[in-house]
Structure 1
Amino acid sequence: MAPRPFQIKVPDEALRDLYRRLDATIWPDEGTGAGWTHGTSRPYLKELAHYWRHEFDWRAVESRLNSFSHFIADVQGLGIHFIHQKGHGPNPVPLIISHGWPSSFAEMQKIIPLLTDPAGHGGHADDAFDVVVPSLPGFIFSETSPEGGMHLARMADISDELMTALGYQRYAAQGGDIGSGVTAALGLRHADHVIGVHVTSAALVTPWLDESAPPLSPAESAYLEGRRNWMSSEGAYYMLQSTKPQTLSFGLTDSPVGLAAWIVEKFRAWSDCHGDIESRFTKDELLTNISLYWFTRSIGSANRFYYENRTNPLALGKDERIEVRTGLSVFPADISLPPREWAERSFQVEHYQDMPRGGHFNAMEEPELLVEEIRSLFRADRTSLRHAV
């Protein structure tokens, strides 16, 4: 399973095809003054599409992304794409970072240099990590199994196999959203390899909750009620992608504007932008992520994760818990805000922090805050961790 170097190179014809499709967009009507209340704003999407067609420089983005060290490895018969950036320090700790949806490896562009070269960014060389950022199976440049079954546990098994093949017998893991679930599954299924985990969500792990479990605290009851309310107002994407993902994939794979509408609405709704999406993300940042999905035609396989995980959830058994040391950072505008006692039903929580700002895409929104949380979790006993790697 020797990794082979990989570079992003979108064919010129794919760019020409994108421009043709953008030029031929048929725009729906919109109720007067609808804004974002019915979903993605048509005026904003027109502005974004015009920028995509006439100003966005994909080749410059490609060059920037290719400044990282990309590879493809064959894992369980699938081509898995990943960035592998070595740390600059006396003994970097290996760290695998798993992204979420509708995000990609590109979300980590800001945090990779901070983690791998802390001394070059105002920190201490002792805090350096070797960073591995895969594209999750079915996302962007990573293949998925045509037979299905690509749920959290299998994604974690693939990630562990990748890390051990890279020579890391012991490593740390971090993730948000789906990546939090992959990270949790790594800690559960591969505790002999995983030093500890840092997550920004506890929503994808279902703790044991029968009559023998401790009763819910008021904070936990409020959290679960909030999740139910959120599903009724924001969860339509989840219900569709977890039940009929293929129906959705036809339109999103055929229309770049349709794809952009589906993704950009989530970046606005789930970030700490207070309704002004470009207060958190530039058009170039938004379109980098959208373009990666467009050029790889991977939105269908990425969306299918929800179907696979609904039928194979990460559910803990009686008296079962993720026993590796865990840090949880809760960003206030994220879609899931678990209290500590909820997280402790599933994890061995050693560090819990309510963050002052940031949302679902925290590696883009608040890279310095996220990096310091990762560093602090592993800093206290870093010497012993080095000996374990």
Structure 2
Amino acid sequence: MSDMIPAHSRRTFVATSTAAATAAAIGGSFGLLSAQTAEAAEAGTSFRPSAGGSIRPFRVNFPQKDLADLRQRIVSTRWPEKETVADQSQGAQLATMKELAHYWASEYDWRKVEAKLNSHPQFITEIDGLDIHFVHVRSKHENAMPIIVTHGWPGSIIEQMKIIEPLTNPTAHGGKASDAFHVVIPSIPGYGFSGKPTGKGWDPERIAQAWAELMKRLGYNKYVAQGGDWGSIITDLMARQKPQGLIGIHVNLPGVVPPAIEKAIASGNPLPSGTVLSDEEKAAVDQLDFVYKHVYYAYMMASRPQTLTGLVDSPISLASFLVDHDAASLAMISRSFAGHKEGLSRDDVLDNVTLFWLTKTGISAARLFAENKAPFFAVKGVTLPVAVSVFPDEIYQAPESWAKQAYPNLIRYNKVSKGGHFAAWEQPALFVDEVRAGFRSLR
């Protein structure tokens, strides 16, 4: 195993590297492309494309002692006093976290998600000096469209597990053979099973370039990309870079805010003089104003990620930090641990938190906020075809008017009936419908 694999990965994965397994990863119906990137695409970047690169299959198998240690740490938690308010305005409530801890320590079974992960082909390949982990599932249907799907924070590839089968096997899930996709789901550097950068420079721009290299290495000469949260930013940047083979994108947290408006909101200043907004645009401004006033976790990760040592030392510290992403998601997760079945289940939440814990990626994932130079919500300059899905409980509702301005080649805009920030994870059936519809015109 490569020295670039972090220590936890070296003891976590069982590797096989036979030529047959590599061939299975690549697939037979797409001819391999050259791994060299055009000099023009490289200009002004620190990205170093490889001249090839092995693709090494992996399976996940954490030692039992790691799970025993996790349970012991949970039951040994030193709890704070109860919040002094009756709502979630002070963060994840004590009752929610105690219920989460009880279920995590006494009933939750990590081996189930481990088996789920291992039911899909997973691989590691070194790109630009860093090991990149990815799931790669090819459809049985001819002419399936290759798609690379990128997760966000505080997520992981766990977010996309529910959409793999419907995308690759649509005839068994309400679709047609013509809706089929070959699915590639990479772990962002510093997240999950990908390597942890040991120096600066792995920002969304570089990740976008790495994803293009990955798709080349897999032999896909025509493909689409999808993302939410960080995945939306990375996907937007891929589209702006226009790598050979990328023909369109779908995003569910689109970057459509006029730059001057986002700058004003982020800095707490009035909107530019003369700004005229529709009711829909005004609502989006109000939502973004709320976001910028309440994303303290983002400011902390962007400025002082190394201070968050508790995220790799205390499982409950990690869990409370990850579940408190946004007000709607926290409320939904709290209801789930109170016994209501909706959106994310208790197991869904703990599958993701446990992955963060076992891979010790609380801080390495946080560093992406410190690396980022791109605006979160503003226009990125994308001219490729774009499909946009707006989920009602997302942190802001992107107006169609802004989407048309931001994406001059907008091929679809749709408001979905339910779902929030973790759309693929919360509402997989609706999400799959959106992806199918979004790319149908590009087949």
How does the TM-score come out when normalised to structure 1?
A: 0.90
1:215 Cα shift? 6.0
Q: Which residue of the other structure, out of 49, 55, 63, is the alignment partner of 2:115? A: 63
**Counterpart for residue 385 of structure 1:** none
Superposed, which structure 2 residues align to 1:316-327 within 5 Å? 321-327=381-387
1:316 Cα shift? 8.5
RMSD: 2.5
1:145 Cα shift? 2.3
Cα distance in 2 for residues equivalent to 1:138 and 1:274: 25
The more displaced of 127-136 and 343-352 is: 343-352
1:262 Cα shift? 0.9
Counterpart residue type for residue 72 of structure 1 = I
Cα distance in 1 for residues equivalent to 2:76 and 2:217: 46
**Aligned residue pairs: how many?**
376
Cα deviation per residue 1:46-85 (whole Å; 9 max; x = unaligned)?
A: 1111111111111122112211111011111111000000
Cα deviation per residue 1:239-296 (whole Å; 9 max; x = unaligned)?
A: 1111112112x01110001101111233763378396245222211111000000000
The answer to whether the 8 Å contact 1:92/1:127 transfers is: yes
- 1:177 equivalenced with 2:234 (yes/no): no
Superposed, which structure 2 residues align to 1:191-206 within 5 Å? 191-203=243-255
Q: Which residue of the other structure, out of 341, 348, 364, is the alignment partner of 1:301? A: 364
Cα distance in 2 for residues equivalent to 1:208 and 1:2: 45
SS in 2 for 1:149: coil
Give the 3 Å change call, closer, same or farther, for CA 267–133 of structure 1 in structure 2.
Answer: farther
Give the 3 Å change call, closer, same or farther, for CA 257–381 of structure 1 in structure 2.
Answer: closer
The answer to whether the 8 Å contact 1:207/1:345 transfers is: no
SS in 2 for 1:273: helix
**Counterpart for residue 290 of structure 1:** 353
The answer to whether the 8 Å contact 1:246/1:300 transfers is: yes
How does the TM-score come out when normalised to structure 2?
A: 0.79
- 1:230 equivalenced with 2:291 (yes/no): yes
**Counterpart for residue 151 of structure 1:** 203
Cα distance in 1 for residues equivalent to 2:118 and 2:175: 25
**Counterpart for residue 36 of structure 2:** none
SS in 2 for 1:112: helix
1:206 Cα shift? 6.7
Give the 3 Å change call, closer, same or farther, for CA 205–101 of structure 1 in structure 2.
Answer: farther
* Gap regions ≥5 residues in structure 2: 1-52, 264-273
Superposed, which structure 2 residues align to 1:59-138 within 5 Å? 59-138=111-190
SS in 2 for 1:173: strand
**Counterpart for residue 387 of structure 1:** none
The more displaced of 183-192 and 108-117 is: 183-192
- 1:356 equivalenced with 2:408 (yes/no): no
**Counterpart for residue 261 of structure 1:** 320
* Gap regions ≥5 residues in structure 1: 383-389
Give the 3 Å change call, closer, same or farther, for CA 64–178 of structure 1 in structure 2.
Answer: same
The answer to whether the 8 Å contact 1:272/1:333 transfers is: no
Cα distance in 1 for residues equivalent to 2:317 and 2:441: 47
1:11 Cα shift? 1.4
Cα deviation per residue 1:161-197 (whole Å; 9 max; x = unaligned)?
A: 1110000122100010110011111111025321100
Identity %: 38
Cα distance in 1 for residues equivalent to 2:330 and 2:170: 26
Cα distance in 2 for residues equivalent to 1:74 and 1:166: 13
SS in 1 for 2:398: coil
Counterpart residue type for residue 298 of structure 1 = T
**Counterpart for residue 242 of structure 1:** 302
Give the 3 Å change call, closer, same or farther, for CA 66–216 of structure 1 in structure 2.
Answer: farther
**Counterpart for residue 49 of structure 1:** 101
